[in-house]
Amino acid sequence: MKGWRRRLVFDPLPPRTSRERSDQLFRAAGSFRRRNAIREVSLGLNEAKKLLRKQKDDGSWRYRGVRSTRWRSEENYDQLETYRVVGQLIEKFAMTRDHSAVRRAVEYLFSFQTDEGDFRGIYGTQYSPNYSAGIMELLIKAGYSHDARIARGFGWLLDIRQLDGGWAIPLSTLGRRLNAHTMNSATVRPDRAKPFSHLITGVVLRAFAAHELHRTSLEAMNAGALLASRFFRRDVYSGRDAVDFLIKFSYPFWFTDLLSSLDSLSLLGFDREDTSVSPRSTGSSLSSDQTACAY
């Protein structure tokens, strides 16, 4: 077996590639395509157009969920919503900087980048390595990998790392929670001696994995090994620390889950021999049903 087939325990192709089997699959696939191709394309275009119609003149999208102005300003809620919508445009509809709506949205998001290099506002005045990297991941995929502002963002991410090579929310390393008071107080740097958060590190790695140069860096490989070592374990910081958050999947990717983690690790060059995805080997308390979902 070659390539990806060599990594599997069993080769799935021979039972499916006999002449009889191939004829059946060909006829079935052709019939399926004829019935569904036009419908799927139409649905996708309609959904994308619906999103684009709601874009504001400044390139943003208005947040329409339940909001508490004690936590974020209206502007920062719109930054969060714009990040969410841009993820759909890029990941679901393969839009890039070639589309004017994407360019306007990108410039809106870049308007929240500080001189230090982070994207600030979603956590108020506080640093947010996860949202900063999540935004960078999408901008890289949209075609901005060589933009100087992206380079500045990576410089900030490397500067804000924990000493063990991973990332955490700075407030969490100081034992403080995100709330109305802390999100509007003076920006704090992390206690870098505290351990990394694998849930935060998983999001940050998505930016490194998306970038053709940074995905091969020693820093990315070391952080990838840290993430792989934490599958099916509680995060060291409270919040989304429960083990079963790893199997709460979403796409486009949002928080760290097993799928997003394996996607990043595969882009970094890890394979199944480099990771442990078995709850039985990590002392996880997942139920048998949850374990089945993980595979």
Domains of the chain, by residue range, sit at: 55-294
Q: Return d(Cα 46, Cα 53) in angstroms, integer.
A: 11
Question: According to the model, what pLDDT value does residue 64 have?
Answer: 81
Nearest to 201 by CA among 190, 185, 212: 190
Q: Is the peptide bond between 252 and the residue preceding it cis, with omega within 30 degrees of 0? A: yes
What is the chain's pLDDT, residue by residue, as a tens digit (295 residues)? 456 566 666 666 665 555 555 555 555 555 555 555 445 555 567 889 999 999 999 999 998 875 555 556 667 889 999 999 999 999 999 999 999 999 999 999 999 999 999 999 999 999 999 999 999 999 999 999 999 999 999 999 999 999 999 999 999 999 998 888 888 899 999 999 999 999 999 999 999 999 999 999 999 999 999 999 999 899 999 877 788 888 889 999 999 999 999 999 999 998 776 665 544 333 444 333 333 333 2
Residues linked to residue 113 through DSSP beta bridges, in sequence order: 119
Residues linked to residue 121 through DSSP beta bridges, in sequence order: 124
Question: According to the model, what pLDDT value does residue 140 have?
Answer: 98
Q: Where are the alpha helices (DSSP H) in 54-159?
A: 74-91, 100-110, 129-139, 148-159
Question: According to the model, what pLDDT value does residue 151 have?
Answer: 98
Q: Return d(Cα 215, Cα 196) in angstroms, integer.
A: 19
